[in-house]
Structure 1
Amino acid sequence: MILKKMKVKNFRLLKNFELDFKDELSLIIGKNNCGKTSALIILDKMLNSSKVMWEDINLECQKDLYKKIIGFDITKLDEVQLLETISMQLFIEYNDNDSYENIQKFMMDLNPDNNIIVLEFISVIAAKKIIELKNIISEKNIEDFKSFSKFMSKNFANFFEMKKYSRGFDIESNQITQDRSEEIDNKDIQKVIKVAGIRADRAVSNDDHNHVLSGLTGKYFSSYKATKDESESVFTRLEEKLEEADKELYKIYNGEKSDSGKVIDGIFSNVIDVIKTYGGAENGIDIAIESSISEKNLLSDNTNLSYRQGGDCSLPETYNGLGYLNLIGILFEIETKIQELFEQPADINLLYIEEPEAHTHPQLQYIFIRNIKSHIKTHRKKLLEDKNKQLQILITSHSSHIVSECNFDDIIYLKKNGNTVIAKNFNSLKEEYSGDEQKGFKFVKQYLTMNRSELFFTDKAICIEGDTERILMPMMMHKIDNKEKPKADLIPLLSQNISIIEVGAHSHIFIPLFEFLGIKVLIITDIDAATKNNNGRYVKSHPQEAKYTSNASIKDFFKDTCLDESNNEFEELLKKIPEDKIKNNIRIAYQIPETDGEYQASSFEDAFIALNKDFILKNKEELCEYGALKDFSNYEIENGDYYNFALNNVKKKSAFASSLLYFDDENGEEDEKWAVPHYIEEGLLWIR
């Protein structure tokens, strides 16, 4: 039995939300404030009968409710029984190996092919409560939504209630039907599905007065004991030791007589004698202070977790870093929660872990995600074999390190889309790479794993070709920000969440991924001037002689404009205006002449040299000594043939790029600092 899907309406950002669960582990990822926590909280609130609050209702739904309540027609009381707000539907799939004992009362038909039950949770306000609320609005002169919202924030529970039903499901149309059961009891739901979790706001601290981990030992003991037979030797030994301790403490508290008959006073002897004096012996007042050490209190209040050092000494828990404290705390809580679920398991047991990466460095994050799946699998197998019950895990994260180390089949990507949130399974991206492009999907998947899982969490991306652009891009962004200060409503490039990724001339392979992620992308690539030989193959050429581009990304970007059919596609590319280079949320940038020059470049190097020849000449000696350029005569650069100058004199592209950072003087004269080529500047202004 498996939880397959959840549908949510009007809960916070989840206005109309669907989430398909994986059978074993669902890794829910996405940027901050995209609804990851909300998806966990609604499961927790509905299944554990926690209170839903007015603030939990989606803002648009709140405003719509206000309009419906103030406009409610009392004469149509029979037509409108209630108004719905938040709702959640859980789709549970079962098979012939599962016990029907707990789910049979939720089955809505006898169709043997229908193996889906649907549990529905709805927060509603009944018609009579609407009338009552409408009267209060009138009496209190509540005249706008703001005042209404303030009143509802304090009085929500007086008017709204939670209803729970089983719903009919049509297996052929894969849709919920109008059939609805009588209200169902939460006790019956708890037999079918339970949820427990570890929240992100874990009280982990390395403050000297904080001993959170030590406190977890008491919780772990309680859950451990509940799943074991109390006659086991470990409990017998513990009980014997506690009885011995109680007897010794009794003597220390109340005093005792030694073997020689001498009275040895205890801690409380004096006060007990005083009480006897006041009460009088004839009244029979005789008290004693008993020791009553319980196992749980002993562990909760009298145990400390410590770190062993060198085998013969230990340090307090707070003497370790927050990352290790967090990791140890999570593992303690996982074991405790799972043992609690094992004590009285439901048919489906859902365990969630929110943002396990808190405080941890990348290596610890790798270790966690590598081990958690096999660790949970052991518990899952035991629960299934021993009790025929299922364990499903949800992990939410915005760590690129965790994503890069996980199985991409487990990923569910949450994307904020306007005022709502959509959830996408990463494997659905595979459908965008049809036919021969399946190789592209494998390549993108491998690239994300090895290099750039951060793309899942970025707002924008800049695709570059190689080392030169990678080294210089941050400085070029800085120069653009300084040259043209952004307007008040624009954030400088270097302050934005932009990922720079190296893709060579293969950015077109990533376009389905960018569209899947819904991010804004700038592709910076070389126009790669070319001619064709007698065999129809592209041959690198001087841009003045070029009729084609050999760049695959450019060809793919303009494939819908029949670029290949042009007699001179190179010339056609140069005629394109900035608006022609934008497709949906993606823009391409390639070499174009500078605003005050005629030279057309073929690569970054000759575009840069054409624009910055004074800078090159000013720093000629240093650039040659640095290994960026070969020794050259001034005429070679002054004659205007920048293509051949770059081809013959750039010694090593990476050295050329790093030298530009080294010799640039942002505060110097014009010939002591360099400028950003026009095609890159145009693209960066667009993405800013």
Structure 2
Amino acid sequence: MYISKLTISNYRTFREFSIDLKPLTLIIGENNIGKSNLLDCIGLIFSQEVSYYKRRMLELADFNYDTIVALKKKILDDSIQPELIEYPKIVIQATVKDWNPDQGAVVADWYSNETFTEATLTYVFAPVNQFDKNQHIIEQRNFISNYRKNYGHDEFKKISEENVLGLIDFPIGKYAYRIYGGNAVEATVNPYFLNQLKFELLDALRDAGTELVASHQNKLLFRILNAKEDNAYQDLKGQLIYLQEAIKNNSTLTEIKNGISDQLDKISLATDQTTNIVDLLFSTPEVSDLLKKISLIYGTNPIKIERNGTGRNNLLFISLILSYIEDINHSNAVYFRVVGLEEPESHLHPNLQDHLAHNIELLIKTQDPIDPKKKVNRKDIQLLITSHSTHITTKVDFENTVVLYEDDDKKLVAHYVLSGFDDKAKSRKQVRYLNKYLDATNTNIFYSRKTILVEGISEKLLMPIFFKKITGLTTEKASCCIVNVNGLAFANFLEIMKNGFFQRCLVLTDSDSKTQTLQRPLDLKTRYESKLIQVQISSETTFEKDLIESNKSGEGRQILLDALVSIRPTVGKTYRDKLGAGNIEVEAFFGLIEAYKSEFAYALMLGLEENDHGFTVPEYINKGILFLIDDKKN
């Protein structure tokens, strides 16, 4: 079984949002886009932790900000009748499918389609039935009216809309939550069955060190050790008999006992009913008390967890929880677990990140009962990973990778990287290319809001300089990623954009591209150009010739000559001296750098970093960058 779909309304960053999920899903995207919020939504339904029980009673800050603003504006508008104003609800619905017979017995009351192949669980946070919304609206409007009179109409007009809206009270105290199954909106789900489905979260801010010591019942290690039946540790209690005997025979303890008895003789009466003899009783602890004294050590030279580095403890922490989840035979086994793993890369160096990502899919795999040589997804575990690591991103199958991002309308959407690719030979070839070429650098397209695709290393080196010269911003500040397609494989990347990853994208290509038909510049424009994708073609046959043509005279001329001399001192000086004060001749200059394109680009980059005054960016590049940053289109 697994959660196949999650729909969210009005919760934090999600106004109206829907995402399809898989047994293993890697969720990526820029910071603050909503990855953690998505996992929290699942926890509000499935988690059995005390912290989530408390969290189910939401706060005002848990509502989508735009939703609250829209409500307050309606309340502020006296022309809208109270009966026409609806107070927002937070609704989170999880659809599950593909269950085994045991799981089917759990979800039987939650079927949501006519074929009984899907079941849903829905969390709703809404006003209680007794809440009189009309009365609340009238009270808020009366308050604003009286405030306006007391403050003065003219002065009130000077108050910003944001501050005025802040005067309106949101009745969060009149809200309550419930969880229901299937289409029975009015019925609350049976807690017994809900408890058979659990959510485990390894959050990004986990304190691995403290969780690896079983000193408290809420610590991870204790919960894992305590998951076994008590009789599994019965032999430990048996060993304590020897400790009791050792206590009785210890000379120091005997001396202490005798000393106490002697003092009692001096200060108390002796009667037939009492004696002043004392003893020491060793209270045999319960198994749970014994478990709290256990902590993990790790390594060939084991040291206390507290002394480990954060990276080692983080890896150990992940291994600990996943071993617990993998064990389908522990006594607290449930029918289904969703595991949310936030930022597994925390404190791990790149090689460890690569190794972890390579093996992470094995956590949800098991042997196929029909064909032992094959691995199939386990029915009892679903793994959801969020990450900012390009190392993790490139190692997990792109079939399982979904990007969260805001589209041009500022709507939060989810897009699977390979969505839209079919099973035809051409698509399979493109997918193989992307799996190979979307390395730790190029996967930055999924963490950026704008992308520039260039043909080679020369453009890659110089484009950040040109971008800053035109916009005044660094590419990082503008959330713009520059990807070198290493030749002419634009179409492979543009298929991702075309199929639904609606980020603004600029293609910069030479006009003399000797490529397959679909990759020729004009064909790229015809096939891929849209409101969000622009293909800009060099006026000259190559990028370098456009640079030379745009700067063959003026101050840019000297910058080009300096770069030439730095990479070809003898030939460059001869050419410069022969040229004198004349304009650079494009073909002659290009002939001198044709075999040194990357070296020339690097030298030019260094020169422009020191002084770009008077240097002219080629027009096709200038137009493309202005397209990327056009706020009217953003």
TM-score with structure 1 setting the length: 0.71
Q: 1:59 aligns with which of 39, 54, 65?
A: 65
Q: How does 1:272-283 map to 2 (within 5 A)?
A: none
Q: 1:514 aligns with which of 490, 497, 504?
A: 497
- Alpha-carbon offset, residue 37 of structure 1: 0.9
Contact 2:338 2:381 in 1 (8 A): yes
- Alpha-carbon offset, residue 287 of structure 1: 7.4
Deviations 1:556-590 (A, max 9, x none): 243279xxxxxxxxxxxxxxxxxxxx841233334
- Alpha-carbon offset, residue 134 of structure 1: 2.7
Contact 1:253 1:289 in 2 (8 A): no
Percent of residue pairs identical: 20
Contact 1:30 1:36 in 2 (8 A): yes
Contact 1:526 1:604 in 2 (8 A): yes
Which residue identity does 1:352 align to in structure 2? G
- Alpha-carbon offset, residue 409 of structure 1: 1.4
- Alpha-carbon offset, residue 341 of structure 1: 9.1
Which residue identity does 1:326 align to in structure 2? N
TM-score with structure 2 setting the length: 0.77
Does 1:643 pair with 2:581? Answer: no
Contact 1:92 1:117 in 2 (8 A): yes
Distance 1:469 1:626, change over 3 A: farther
Partner of 1:542 in structure 2?
none
Partner of 2:632 in structure 1?
none
Partner of 2:358 in structure 1?
370
Distance 1:500 1:87, change over 3 A: same
Contact 2:76 2:141 in 1 (8 A): no
Q: What is the alpha-carbon distance in structure 2 between the residues aligned to residue 304 and residue 466 of structure 1? A: 51
Q: 2:512 aligns with which of 528, 550, 555?
A: 528
Contact 2:127 2:174 in 1 (8 A): yes
Deviations 1:255-281 (A, max 9, x none): 31xxxxxxx226xx7678768877766
Partner of 2:456 in structure 1?
466
Contact 2:506 2:534 in 1 (8 A): yes
Q: What is the alpha-carbon distance in structure 2 between the residues aligned to residue 377 and residue 335 of structure 1? A: 13
Partner of 1:587 in structure 2?
534
Distance 1:607 1:249, change over 3 A: farther
What's the secondary structure of 1:5's corresponding residue?
strand
Contact 2:511 2:538 in 1 (8 A): yes
- Alpha-carbon offset, residue 405 of structure 1: 0.3
- Alpha-carbon offset, residue 131 of structure 1: 5.9
What's the secondary structure of 2:131's corresponding residue?
helix
Partner of 2:567 in structure 1?
623
Distance 1:53 1:226, change over 3 A: closer
Partner of 2:192 in structure 1?
187
Q: 2:545 aligns with which of 606, 617, 624?
A: 606
Aligned structure 1 segments of 4 or more residues deviating by more than 6 angstroms? 67-72, 250-254, 269-279, 626-633
Q: What is the alpha-carbon distance in structure 1 between the residues aligned to residue 438 and residue 547 of structure 2? A: 31
Does 1:202 pair with 2:181? Answer: no
Deviations 1:341-390 (A, max 9, x none): 94344433212211111122221111112122213425999xxx9xx962
Distance 1:224 1:133, change over 3 A: farther
Contact 2:314 2:347 in 1 (8 A): yes
Partner of 2:157 in structure 1?
none
Contact 2:6 2:93 in 1 (8 A): yes
Distance 1:281 1:394, change over 3 A: farther
Partner of 1:409 in structure 2?
399
Q: What is the alpha-carbon distance in structure 1 between the residues aligned to residue 264 and residue 520 of structure 2? A: 94
Distance 1:190 1:25, change over 3 A: same
- Alpha-carbon offset, residue 636 of structure 1: 10
- Alpha-carbon offset, residue 684 of structure 1: 3.8
What's the secondary structure of 1:226's corresponding residue?
coil
Q: What is the alpha-carbon distance in structure 1 between the residues aligned to residue 67 and residue 558 of structure 2? A: 63
- Alpha-carbon offset, residue 555 of structure 1: 0.5
- Alpha-carbon offset, residue 653 of structure 1: 1.5
Q: What is the alpha-carbon distance in structure 2 between the residues aligned to residue 139 and residue 680 of structure 1? A: 55
Q: How does 1:87-98 map to 2 (within 5 A)?
A: 87-94=91-98, 97=101
Contact 2:247 2:253 in 1 (8 A): no
Q: How does 1:405-444 map to 2 (within 5 A)?
A: 405-417=395-407, 418=409, 420-430=411-421, 436=426, 439-444=429-434
With 42-51 and 28-37 compared, the bigger mean Cα shift is at 42-51
Distance 1:615 1:31, change over 3 A: closer
Partner of 1:567 in structure 2?
none
- Alpha-carbon offset, residue 68 of structure 1: 7.9
Which residue identity does 2:65 align to in structure 1? L
Alignment gaps of 5+ in structure 2: 48-52, 148-163, 370-374, 630-634
Partner of 1:176 in structure 2?
none
- Alpha-carbon offset, residue 665 of structure 1: 7.7
- Alpha-carbon offset, residue 242 of structure 1: 3.2
Deviations 1:452-478 (A, max 9, x none): 222211222221111222233344445
Distance 1:608 1:226, change over 3 A: closer
Q: What is the alpha-carbon distance in structure 2 between the residues aligned to residue 126 and residue 502 of structure 1? A: 56
- Alpha-carbon offset, residue 333 of structure 1: 2.4
Q: What is the alpha-carbon distance in structure 1 between the residues aligned to residue 481 and residue 621 of structure 2? A: 16
Q: 1:308 aligns with which of 258, 281, 300?
A: 300
Q: What is the alpha-carbon distance in structure 1 between the residues aligned to residue 105 and residue 489 of structure 2? A: 56
Partner of 1:105 in structure 2?
109
Deviations 1:161-206 (A, max 9, x none): 22232334xxxxxxxxxx6463332222223x322221111014xx
Does 1:5 pair with 2:20? Answer: no
Q: What is the alpha-carbon distance in structure 2 between the residues aligned to residue 398 and residue 678 of structure 1? A: 35
Partner of 2:160 in structure 1?
none
Does 1:501 pair with 2:483? Answer: yes
Q: What is the alpha-carbon distance in structure 2 between the residues aligned to residue 410 and residue 316 of structure 1? A: 38
Partner of 1:348 in structure 2?
336
Distance 1:628 1:656, change over 3 A: farther
Partner of 1:174 in structure 2?
none
Root mean square deviation, CA, Å: 4.5
Deviations 1:628-681 (A, max 9, x none): 89978725994753124313554321222233345668269x7xx965444434
Which residue identity does 2:481 align to in structure 1? S
Partner of 1:86 in structure 2?
90
- Alpha-carbon offset, residue 608 of structure 1: 2.9
- Alpha-carbon offset, residue 53 of structure 1: 1.4
What's the secondary structure of 1:52's corresponding residue?
coil
Deviations 1:192-226 (A, max 9, x none): x322221111014xxxxx65433489743553453
Partner of 2:243 in structure 1?
245
Partner of 2:178 in structure 1?
163
Partner of 2:161 in structure 1?
none
What's the secondary structure of 1:331's corresponding residue?
helix
Contact 2:121 2:182 in 1 (8 A): yes
Q: How does 1:386-405 map to 2 (within 5 A)?
A: 390-405=380-395
Partner of 1:38 in structure 2?
37
What's the secondary structure of 2:125's corresponding residue?
strand
- Alpha-carbon offset, residue 59 of structure 1: 2.3
Which residue identity does 2:547 align to in structure 1? F
Q: What is the alpha-carbon distance in structure 1 between the residues aligned to residue 609 and residue 426 of structure 2? A: 49
With 331-340 and 86-95 compared, the bigger mean Cα shift is at 331-340
